[in-house]
Amino acid sequence: MKIITSIFDLNKEIKDYKNIGFVPTMGGIHAGHISLIKASQNKKSKTIVSIFVNPTQFNKGDDFKKYPRNIQKDIAILKKLNVEYLFTPNTEDIYKFKAKKFNLKRKDKILCAKFRVGHFEGVLNVMNRLMTIIKSKDLYMGEKDYQQLYLIKKFLSKKFKARINSCPTIRINNKIALSTRNKLLKKRSINKASEIALFLKKIKYKSKLQGSKLAFNLPDYKKELEKKYNIKIDYLEFRDEKNLKLSNFKNKYRLFVAYNIDSVRLIDNY
């Protein structure tokens, strides 16, 4: 595996490759990331993984500082996976050139965009820059960050004529979704989050039988979860998979949730 730290060296290394898959990450490589890498390896001749903890998508400075980092462990995992390229740029290199700024419209300020002001503008900004640098026509991203996946498809896939390949969420024992942030949780909170995941899966199952009738009961379920597990839920909503509008239960839909536990914000969808 070649580890590349500068845009200049990266351009020189991959300029002649057409069939290359791109897996953008912020490190803390886990089984979810590995599933994206393997999806790329199954289709592309070479795969490039980026590790860059993007400061512009964090609402709080403390959150950015506390974000789990272990580059040596990540490198060891990626080498075992036979990844061809690892791109680890610094902030100055990523942000040294001018690029379009993105502003979400009111209709897009839902779910996490409502509670994390500026977060997705930061995500779109850095992804626009990374896609400009790497020029891959195939990106691999997980469905756990479904709103992020949706917005990147909406704003960037046409611009770069790129396919945003979505991969299923990987879970611990079919419960809590894997996330780098999980490393900040205490063991008892992992257990709580697993119980919450099972509860929400049951709600999703019930919704297939009751539809909009169950949607009216979501505020009660929200209160029940908050009281039982001593958590603060930002949102618990059924939304359409295609456009993220509140679900009419006639098309494919998902149950979206975000909550705080141990001062760590977890998101998921079912």
**Which amino acids are annotated catalytic?**
33
Q: How far apart are CA 155 and CA 267, in angstroms?
A: 22
105 phi, psi to nearest 5 deg: -80, 165
Query: How many residues in the chain?
Result: 270
> Phi, psi at residue 52, to the nearest 5°?
-150, 115
Rounded CA gap, 208 and 210, in Å?
6
d(CA 18, CA 135): 9
In whole angstroms, give the CA distance from residue 130 to residue 24. 8
> How many whole angstroms separate alpha carbon 212 and alpha carbon 209?
10
Q: Which two tokens stand for residue 268?
A: 């998921």
